[in-house]
Structure 1
Amino acid sequence: MKINPKIFKAYDIRGKEGQDLTPEFAKRLGGAYIVWLKEKINKNNPLVVVSHDVRELSLLLAKNLAKGMSMAGANVIFSGESSTSMYYFVVNITKADGGIMVTASHNPKGDNGFKICLAGAVTVGLGDGLEEIQNLMENETDFAGEDEGSVETKNFLSDYVNFLTRIEIDYKEKIIIDCANGAVGPIMEEVLRKLNLNAEKLFFNPDSNFPNHDPNPLKEGALNKLVVKVKESGAELGIAFDADGDRVFFIKKDGSLVGADVMAIILSRHFLQKQKGENIVLDLRMSREVLEEIKGGKGNAIISRVGHTFIKQAMRQNNAVFGAELSGHYYFRDFFFADGAIFAALLFLKIIGEGGKTLEEITHGLRNWEKSDEMNFKVENAPALIEKVKEKFKDGKQKEIDGLSVDYADWWFNLRASNTEPLVRLVVEAKNKETLKEKVGVLTSLILGV
């Protein structure tokens, strides 16, 4: 079959429902994955998990995916609709050899995709086997195994909710929870039944049209309705999940966003107060103030490339207690070294409930440096540009973990190429607004060739 090669991304497969991603594609993917997995783990009848999000064709794609897997000899646990974090949970508690989640993450309506993993929910992306699966799909004609496997449907919602609600929370303030009409809604419904939280619900009903706002909370305007509700109701806190439920964001009572840097400081402090010397993984875009917090708390900061594949690898390799990405992914050793959005939200409620302070008091003064958003620039030759910038700032302390990071005493920046688009991405942080503005201007002019 003809396959659009552009749908194979760095960490997953993403394309258009009904165009790039059809039932036939899903069935072939299932077969190719199992053929690849059998050789990878030397097992004839692997046990795998299939889950799916709330998008229009996700269930149909998941059923065809499971069919292709079973025809190739796998025993499939079909866990149905779930968030991505719940999918990671199921792969781990069933001790499955791998799995595939049908989801386009936080992409717009009309998109869909597949997140592929090995045992332990270890990501399979480009460089880890995804290109080999692509080659099998394009070249092999028959994936049928000698013995057809089975497909067993099983609901893990109660297991997941029981796992999450082991976190003991004593938080009485009013909160507003926005589930974005995505996969988290039904899970949070059950979580709220078990926890004594003063919570008001927004957009809990799964809807593939995402009628209330963009499925990505970081898109302009996506958090507006939550902000209005928080302000109108006098709530202390707003919580927003993305459509597939692996990222979470927090809104203060004044409507401002609690940035991922601040969340990383709060969560790092929590873990280091319990145990000094713990390893904590950060993506290299995180504020230098997070590094200082970890160092001051007698912890060890492990700097990682951007992307959940790399964060998870670093988490496992270093037995890290916690990990954070600027994009709102939070990872925990107690959540299988994976990103658990609801887990992060409940842990945060536990922390602020125990602190005896308001959210404003807890967050006050945690950030003093000034930081830019991540800025995107369209370029034709990213490697040449990065070399040019490297030469310009050769007097700084340079690292090339992911693109180019350059540190000075009172400012730093990271410039890296996108894995999926002809873009470079820039983050700049400085000790004051004036320096930030100056350095952003210098770098922008250099990037644009002005």
Structure 2
Amino acid sequence: MNAHIFREYDIRGLVDKDLTIEVVELLGLGLGTMIRRKGGTSIVVGRDCRESSTRFRDALAKGLTATGLDVYDVGVVPTPLTYFAANTLPVDGLAMITGSHNPKEFNGFKIGAGKTTFHGPEIKELRRLIEAKDFATSNKPGKVTPYDIITPYNHFIRQTVKVGRKGMKIVIDAGNGTGGAIAVPLFESMGFDVVPLFCEMDADFPNHHPDPTVVENLQDLIKKVKEVKAEVGIAYDGDSDRIGVIDDQGNVLWGDQLMVLFSRYVLKESPGAAIIGEVKCSYTMYDDIAKHGGRPIMWKAGHSLIKSKMKEEHAELAGEMSGHIFFKHRYFGFDDAVYASARLLEILTHEKQSMSQLLSDVPKTFASPELRFDTTEEKKFAMVKRATEILRDAGHKVVDVDGVRVTFPDGWGLIRASNTQPILVLRYEASTEARVKEIQALIEKTVAQAQKEVGA
């Protein structure tokens, strides 16, 4: 078994190479054992539309039921519907089989006990159980029961999201992932004029890669929004836990800009609420949350890490640049792009201003894209540690919750080790382009010095 399939937030690998039927059955045995030893008796399992996901569902269920767990099979659904099932059904764990936005030769598993997904320590424990073949056994294997979660999910959103004016024209680009099949009929039933784009499920992703953080993948949506004069365009990633948004003028709104909008409305209903962003988010977002009476918290990126921090801080909302938006306010605290788009549409249907006007008062800044600095798996964290020391020793104000973010009154720079690749991620933002270049020069000089000193 390839140990690299065990990642920080999930399990991922190449189909039939890293992830074979035998490996997936072992994952089922390991996960089932963890849940059984916590006193659990049942689990919900969902899957995306990849061909391998059906085979993997069968293998995973074989392992899970061998430990005595009953399996509720919710079928082909967006990842958040499996989370929704874990939060609304009397089950003790969850498993979502999904390759997310990765090419079709990949697949993966988002898994957990209770209502939340595993990260770091639990995934390490799962690996230990499998390698030791330390599995729970049962004289009475569990059973697999198909379960319709889509109907209660739609009912929940229609009951709790209060739409204002009807007939708003919106475009939804599901990128041929799982989100379109849910979102289009749901929003039509709520009174929206929905223009669907690539909403048929096709794991070959024939039109564009389903990753809404990449501008090239949003070009069809931008064009369609302008062509049909829609008020907003909404894009989902392959498994619909990340959202991308285009305003009525065809501009892309990134995760931190959406968070400004969402946090203003959450704070109207929950004054003083804690709201979490990650280290790549704009300082204008943190300032805006504080200005509107919220308690902004900067934390590490990663869906499992954000969810556990939300629980710790009793936060009402959290978000990442990548389009993961987590609503605890009126919801369950997990990342759900269809639900986030419902909340966005709720805001727009009660506002007289257009989408582009709603954020016109946020100060304009200049930011670099995410820049990649190649290094090695062994040296990446050592380089970040040394860079942190260099910046701190020079008297700079630094935040080191996830990499190092050096902050100034008019901007910031970030050096962060990727959790999934042998690279450092660099990013800069400031009030002027000239200031961005100054911060970039400081960061690049620091990285070069750190690289030299750790011998990377």
TM-score normalised by length of structure 2: 0.93
Match of residue 297, structure 1, among 289, 292, 295:
292
Equivalent position amino acid for 1:99 in 2: L
Q: Indicate whether 1:432 and 2:425 are aligned.
A: no
Q: Which residue of 2 aligns with 1:222?
A: 217
Equivalent position amino acid for 2:120 in 1: L
Q: Indicate whether 1:368 and 2:355 are aligned.
A: no
Q: Which residue of 2 aligns with 1:268?
A: 263
**Aligned-pair CA distance for 1:445:** 4.4
Structure 2 counterpart SS, 1:416: strand
Equivalent position amino acid for 1:170 in 2: G
**Aligned-pair CA distance for 1:391:** 4.2
**Aligned-pair CA distance for 1:392:** 3.9
Match of residue 156, structure 2, among 135, 145, 163:
163
Aligned length: 443
Q: Indicate whether 1:401 and 2:420 are aligned.
A: no
Structure 2 counterpart SS, 1:204: coil
Q: Which residue of 1 aligns with 2:111?
A: 116
Contact 2:188 2:194 in 1 (8 A): no
Q: Which residue of 1 aligns with 2:333?
A: 337
Contact 2:30 2:135 in 1 (8 A): no
**Aligned-pair CA distance for 1:119:** 1.1
Alignment of 1:161-240 (within 5 A): 161-166=154-159, 167-171=161-165, 172-219=167-214, 221-240=216-235
Equivalent position amino acid for 1:254 in 2: Q
**Aligned-pair CA distance for 1:105:** 1.5
Inter-partner Cα distance in structure 2 for 1:246 and 1:383: 28
Equivalent position amino acid for 1:15 in 2: G
Inter-partner Cα distance in structure 1 for 2:135 and 2:84: 32
Structure 2 counterpart SS, 1:335: coil
Assess, with a 3 A threshold, how the Cα gap between structure 1 residues 177 and 263 changes in structure 2: closer, same or farther.
same
Q: Which residue of 1 aligns with 2:142?
A: 149
**Aligned-pair CA distance for 1:143:** 5.5
Q: Deviations over 1:237-270 (max 9, x none)?
A: 1100001000111012332201212111111100
Q: Indicate whether 1:351 and 2:344 are aligned.
A: no
**Aligned-pair CA distance for 1:448:** 4.6
Contact 1:289 1:367 in 2 (8 A): yes
Contact 1:108 1:215 in 2 (8 A): no
Inter-partner Cα distance in structure 2 for 1:220 and 1:349: 22
Contact 2:249 2:356 in 1 (8 A): no
Inter-partner Cα distance in structure 2 for 1:208 and 1:411: 41
Equivalent position amino acid for 1:125 in 2: H
Equivalent position amino acid for 1:324 in 2: G
Q: Which residue of 1 aligns with 2:22?
A: 24
Structure 1 counterpart SS, 2:145: strand
Q: Which residue of 1 aligns with 2:50?
A: 55
Contact 1:161 1:190 in 2 (8 A): no
Q: Indicate whether 1:8 and 2:24 are aligned.
A: no
Structure 2 counterpart SS, 1:73: coil
Inter-partner Cα distance in structure 2 for 1:388 and 1:156: 49
Inter-partner Cα distance in structure 2 for 1:399 and 1:30: 39
Inter-partner Cα distance in structure 2 for 1:382 and 1:22: 30
Structure 1 counterpart SS, 2:72: strand
Inter-partner Cα distance in structure 2 for 1:48 and 1:155: 15
Q: Which residue of 1 aligns with 2:80?
A: 85
Q: Which runs of no fewer than 5 residues in structure 1 stay unpaired?
A: none
Equivalent position amino acid for 2:346 in 1: K
Q: Which residue of 2 aligns with 1:447?
A: 447
Q: Indicate whether 1:410 and 2:410 are aligned.
A: yes
Q: Which residue of 2 aligns with 1:379?
A: 375
Contact 2:36 2:136 in 1 (8 A): no
Inter-partner Cα distance in structure 2 for 1:169 and 1:109: 37
Match of residue 281, structure 2, among 270, 279, 286:
286
Contact 1:52 1:58 in 2 (8 A): yes
**Aligned-pair CA distance for 1:442:** 3.4
Contact 2:234 2:245 in 1 (8 A): yes
TM-score normalised by length of structure 1: 0.94
Equivalent position amino acid for 1:103 in 2: T
Q: Which residue of 2 aligns with 1:36?
A: 34
**Aligned-pair CA distance for 1:126:** 2.1
Equivalent position amino acid for 1:12 in 2: D
**Aligned-pair CA distance for 1:201:** 0.5
Assess, with a 3 A threshold, how the Cα gap between structure 1 residues 390 and 126 changes in structure 2: closer, same or farther.
closer
Structure 2 counterpart SS, 1:109: coil
Contact 2:47 2:53 in 1 (8 A): yes
Inter-partner Cα distance in structure 1 for 2:345 and 2:436: 33
Alignment of 1:90-101 (within 5 A): 90-101=85-96
Inter-partner Cα distance in structure 2 for 1:438 and 1:96: 53
Equivalent position amino acid for 2:196 in 1: K
Structure 1 counterpart SS, 2:241: coil
Inter-partner Cα distance in structure 1 for 2:113 and 2:326: 18
Q: Which runs of no fewer than 5 residues in structure 2 stay unpaired?
A: none
Equivalent position amino acid for 1:197 in 2: F
| Percentage of identical aligned residues | 31
Structure 2 counterpart SS, 1:57: helix
Contact 2:184 2:194 in 1 (8 A): no
**Aligned-pair CA distance for 1:52:** 0.3
